[in-house]
Amino acid sequence: MIEPNVRRMVCLLLLWLFIVTPLSLGVKNRAEVQGSRLLVPKQEIVVSSPVTISGNDDFEIQGWAGSGTEEDPYVIADLNIRGAAECIIVENTDVYFVIRNCSVEANNIDDAVGILLTGVKNAIVDGCSASDAEWGIRLENCSNCEVVNCRVYNNNIGVVFQGVFNSTLRDTATHGCNFGVAAQETENCEFQSNRIFGNKVVGISLGESTNRCIVFGNSIGWNDAWSVSDDARDNGYENQWNESTQGNEWHAYNDTETYSIAGNASSVDYYPTLLVDTDPPQVNSPDDISFEHGAVGFAVNWSFSDEYPRLIEIITDNATVRTIDWHEDSVSYSVNHLPHGVHNCTIRLTDWAGNQVSDTVRVIVMYSIFGGLGTPYVLISSILSVLAVAAVIVVMIKTRG
């Protein structure tokens, strides 16, 4: 016969196993079914100090790589500068140098400038981004310079050429500014293969005394936020809006033979084409998330891209919780505040052509078991309970024998 004490012990252990094991295993399985993982918030950007170069010698004095020749230019690279009135300034130089892969953000300080070149020859600004300034990238009294493959957004004026000669703006996106590109007192410059869109006043403006410049291969559109807006304006002299048989793409082109440019110059693009964008934005699909209520550090991190970005919407359980202009290429949405239950967090991206794409992440917020002890510990306890019951059963069998 089984001892009464042994019988009671078996009953208690079975009761513990009945209560705990389904809870722990049920929570564990639910998380696995949803394919959950912890999304660690993005690492903070390491902020660099502003840079000021006031002559040729400063490149060597400050220790920038290179020797200043055309074959071996000085290189200012990989900087992240935030909240400065003058992020990168180079003035009064004629050595060769490159500003490459730098991100500057002035945080809307009055009269701030992201990248300023003044009295400079032989410079290249390559692969940089400039935002939240009065002037994103400004060249003043410069020659033989090039701005290429940059992204300039959310400034008063995106790119400025003031008194610039024999220079180029190429493969650069300017959007979300009042003026996308502006040139004054500028001659013999080339504006080629840029994307100029979503600006509020004018997409590209060639002002007075801007002469003999050429504008071609650009995609220009949706620069009509204000009723007085123009995609392009030309008040200069002898500027060309096509190169040979290549003109520009215009969102506002109505399929006539030519495209007239607003302004006193009465300029014409003789080879215009219609700007058409049918490609939806691209977005990644993060894994679903599960965590216990009260935990911190959980967020959904989306990354995305598009040629003509416009709007980002974050939607939680069919309610829009955030709407922002689309300037960045990623967003992190914290989910620590969500209550217990299963939630659908959705991002909806819209570009200027009206193309949309959405992605939804399921977020499971679980009850904290036993005062926040944690499901892993509960699972371990359950396993130990199983082992304990098995041991008791073995003892019972031996006792019966």
Give the pLDDT confidence of 57-115 residue by residue, as tens digits: 999 999 999 999 999 999 999 999 999 999 999 999 999 999 999 999 998 888 999 99
pLDDT at 41: 39
Task: From 217, 244, 250, select the one nearest 232 (Cα to Cα).
Answer: 250
Give strand ranges (E) for 10-73. 51-53
Instruction: Dump pLDDT digits (tens) for 149-177.
Output: 999 999 999 999 999 999 999 999 999 99
- Three-state DSSP at 132 gives coil
Asked whether residue 364 carries a pLDDT value surpassing 70, the answer given is: yes
d(CA 116, CA 135): 8
What local confidence, expressed as pLDDT, does residue 15 receive? Answer: 57
User: Letter for the amino acid at 245?
Assistant: T
pLDDT (average), residues 39-56:
74
- Which residue intervals of 225-374 are DSSP H helices? none
Closest to 87 measured CA to CA, from 71, 105, 100, 73: 105
* Mean pLDDT (the chain, rounded): 87
The number of CA neighbours under 13 Å toward the Cβ of 196 is: 35
> CB under 8 Å, gap of 24 or more: what pairs does 163-168 form?
164/139, 164/140, 164/189, 165/189, 167/139, 167/142, 167/143, 168/192
Q: What is the pLDDT of residues 281-294, one digit of tens each?
A: 999 999 999 999 88
Torsion of CA 114, 117, 123, 126, to 10 degrees: 10
Given this model, what pLDDT does residue 107 score? 87
Spatial contact of 105 and 128, defined as CB atoms under 8 Å apart: no
Instruction: Evaluate if residue 33 carries a pLDDT over 50.
Output: no
Q: How confident is the model at residue 358 (pLDDT cuts 50, 70, 90)?
A: very high
Question: Rounded to whole angstroms, how far apart are CA atoms 22 and 6?
Answer: 24
Rounded Cα distance, 198 and 195, in Å: 10
Residue predicted with more confidence, 298 or 386: 298
Is the per-residue pLDDT at 19 higher than 80? no
* End-to-end alpha carbon distance in the chain: 10
What local confidence, expressed as pLDDT, does residue 29 receive? 35
For the whole prediction, is pTM greater than 0.85?
no
Contacts with 370 (C-beta within 8 Å, 6 or more apart), sequence order: 378
What pLDDT score does 229 carry? 63
Per the rule left: phi > 0, alpha: psi between -120 and 50, beta: everything else, 79 is: beta
Contacts of 5 (CB under 8 A, 6+ apart): none
Rounded Cα distance, 137 and 152, in Å: 8
Question: What tokens appear for 373 in the block?
Answer: 């002890």
Please, which pLDDT band fits residue 20 given cuts at 50, 70 and 90? very low
